Chain A
Amino acid sequence: MNHLKFLLAIWKANLQSVMEYRVSFLTQVVGMMLNNFIYFAIWIVFFDRFKDVRGWGINDMYVTFGVLASAFGLVSLLFGNAFTLGDIINNGRLDYYLSLPRPVLLHAVSSRMISSGMGDFTYGFLSYAVSGPFTWDGLLRFVLAILLAAVVFAAFLILVNSLAFWMGIVSSFANLMLNAMITFGIYPITLFDNYAKLILFTVIPAALMGAVPAEYIRSASWQILAQLLLGAAILLGLAVTVFRSGLKRYESGSAIQVEV
């Protein structure tokens, strides 16, 4: 409960901080929504020409893109530093979080809000809205799927960036993995053979961020929800364990850092 109160306070402060520059905030939100729409137009062109890919049609793409965009946006808004955790570790900027009586990982990743995330988050709902007839239980499943996909995504970012404790500079590698996660997450899962699917459920768990949540929304299957919950819990547990284990190796040059 204490952690939740702490998080709410930090998110409120972050929101006030980004809203300080309202024009910039709005430009980024609207720009990101436009950006997502133009990007998605590729799929409209593709499915207009080829109709479906092994049973995967444009409506499936709307749902998958929707859940992926909203989950990405949610993590950008609430845990913006998860994207650059490797740099924070590598530059000795964890000193600041270590010196305060709050959970280090939670504090570090939630200390930044990325404005454009609001555009992604909102766009996801619009994409879902055009995917088919509206139902309240469908919307509820969509929200639940976003939350679980966001846990998967945040855990993956923490896991990859925590390698900085052992490897030093990991920004290129983390960027590569981030791109792979987003790229593989948006593509129809029916494209991939069993070996590729194994990779997409484990090493790069993109299926748990795109295809599986989308499948849960469409089918309302308890079994798929259980798979998603299990996957999210395992990844989160692994991410926290790896971060804590790396933290024992952490050392800094006592550089003076200012965290705003």
Chain B
Amino acid sequence: MNFIKKYWAIFQITLINSLAYPGELIGRSLMIVPFMWIFYQLWKVTFAAAGADTLNGMTLYSTMWYLMMAETIELSRPRLANVISDNVKDGSIAYILNKPYNFLLYQFSSSMGETVFRALMNAVFGGIVVWWLVGAPPAATGWAFALVALLGTWIMNFCIACLIGLSAFLVEEVSPFLWIYQKFVFILGGFLIPLDFYPHWLQAIAKALPFAYMIYGPSKLFVAPSVDLLANILSMQFVWIAVLGSILVLSYRRGVAYLTVNGG
């Protein structure tokens, strides 16, 4: 029980920290507003040009709410890779390593504390704009299913972001890995265009990789909730968490074995 309590306390501290500067929190969250507005312009014109209310099973309404959820997930991601990379590069990782907690679990609790309110604020601002543009949000089942899948998304993102951050043990600069990861999420995750609009061969590739279960999964569940889809998304998330989590633990152990800290 104590084991959980200390990580819960870390989560709470970061959560409270994230509320210390409400102006900053709101300022960041407002970023979703122009994005949703521009998406609306793009998809309104696209649906009108196609002369159809439904394209590949998606309507303008479901596309917009899908994109709201996708944006909320992406814009709420904490800057974990940069934090860990800085920890490794400036040696402050040594300060965390000698504390009575697991480095990875510490980072997970801390990043979750940072994510929760940011996600909430993004969903509120994004939701208001989309509601105004296309109408009321999907039914409660959509919210509930998406929320369950969101937890898997956050864990998967944590594993990948940590791996990128820990690559600082080997390379000087991790930013390029981070940019490329972000762009894979954009394309293969269905962040800017729902995967339903992709050609079949690209959909097959995307669904064989983890990114689709981080963005497309929860967002699709939000607008078209079904038990079958939920089971599929959760099982794939479970598989990817097991794979990515194992790689992360192994990489972390190897990285720490190489660690040399000079001075204090």
Contact = CB atoms under 8 A, between A and B. Distances in A.
Contacts, number: 97
B249 to A, nearest CB: 26
Nearest to B46: A50
A150 to B, nearest CB: 21
Contact of B45 (A24, A42, A53, A172): A53
Most interface-central of A42, A50, A53, A184 (chain B CB within 10 A):
A50
Contacts of A54: 45, 49
A30 interface: yes
Contacts of B46: 50, 53
Interface stretch (B76-84, B144-152, B191-199, B224-232): B191-199
B183 A39 contact: yes
Contacts of B27: 172-173, 176
Q: Is the interface of B mostly helix, strand, loop or mixed?
A: helix
A34 B46 CA distance: 28
B260 interface: no
Contacts of A38: 180, 183-184, 186-187
Interface in B115-166: none
B172 A172 contact: no
A45 interface: yes
B31 interface: yes
Given A38-B186, A53-B49, A179-B31, A187 B38 contact: yes
Given A38-B186, A172-B23, A28 B42 contact: no
A191 B41 contact: yes
Q: Is the interface of A mostly helix, strand, loop or mixed?
A: helix
Contact of B176 (A30, A50, A187): A30
Contact of A34 (B31, B35, B176): B176
B176 A28 contact: yes
Contact of B186 (A31, A39, A172, A180): A39
Contacts of B41: 187, 191-192, 196
Interface string B185-224: 0110000110001110010000000000000000000000
Interface of B: 23-24, 27-28, 30-31, 34-35, 38, 41-42, 45-46, 49-50, 171-173, 175-177, 179-180, 182-184, 186-187, 192-193, 197-199, 202
Interface of A: 21, 23-24, 27-28, 30-32, 34-35, 38-39, 41-42, 45-46, 48-50, 52-54, 116, 169, 172-173, 175-176, 179-180, 183-184, 187, 190-192, 196
